[in-house]
Amino acid sequence: MAEPQSLKNHGRFDPLFHGLVTIGLLANIIVTGMFFGRHYAEYGWVGIWWIAVSILLLILALKTRMYALLVQDRVIRVEEKMRLAALVSPGELVELDSLTIDQYIGLRFASNAELPDLARRAVREKLTRKQIKEAVVAWRPDTHRV
């Protein structure tokens, strides 16, 4: 059975992306550069094109990952705003409206019982995502992350 999610193990490692794709594309840049270095006279500008495309493929993979994370962060913000709206009074929502997206991301791990107080504290003390996560007592796992 897998260990319950906590502050220490909540990070997500995707072996296909973080291992195979990223390392493979980095290796592609290195191999292409080495091949071009050895065969410059034969291929000329085509070798430079190969290197450029190799670099662009790596950038494409990284940007695609970043876009997915950005969308996930925006969804988390909406989910946490809805959760807070159900747990606090409309007057308190006005105060909590100054929460940043980074703070909402930290708050997603807080249980319903501690969310309102932790959200108020995050606003008043301007807590960072990490500080919020460290303050969570009853960890609410998020297993559906990108």
pLDDT digits over 56-77, tens only? Answer: 999 999 999 999 999 999 999 9
pLDDT of residue 141: 85
7 in a structural domain? no
pLDDT of residue 1: 44
Q: Tokens 């493929």 label which residue?
A: 57
Please, which pLDDT band fits residue 4 given cuts at 50, 70 and 90?
confident
6 in a structural domain? no
42 in a structural domain? yes
CB-based contact 94:123 (threshold 8 Å): no
100 in a structural domain? yes
39 in a structural domain? yes
Closest listed residue to residue 7, CA positions, set 144, 146, 145, 140: 140
pLDDT of residue 2: 63
CB-based contact 132:118 (threshold 8 Å): yes
Does the structure show a pLDDT above 70 at 9?
no
3 in a structural domain? no
Q: What is the pLDDT of residues 70-109, one digit of tens each?
A: 999 999 999 999 999 999 999 999 989 999 999 999 999 9
48 in a structural domain? yes
Q: Distance (Å, rounded) from C-alpha 25 to C-alpha 43? A: 21
Give the domain extent around 58: 15-135
102 in a structural domain? yes
Indicate the helix (H) or strand (E) that contains 69: helix 45-87
Q: What is the pLDDT of residues 109-141, one digit of tens each?
A: 999 999 999 999 999 999 999 999 999 999 998
Give φ, ψ of 112 to 5 degrees: -60, -35
Three-state SS annotation for 15-49: HHHHHHHHHHHHHHHHHHHHHHHHCHHHHCHHHHH
Q: Distance (Å, rounded) from C-alpha 131 to C-alpha 106? A: 8
- High-pLDDT (> 70) share of the chain, %: 96
Please, which pLDDT band fits residue 144 given cuts at 50, 70 and 90?
confident
Q: Distance (Å, rounded) from C-alpha 57 to C-alpha 28? A: 9
Query: How many independent structural domains does the chain possess?
Result: 1
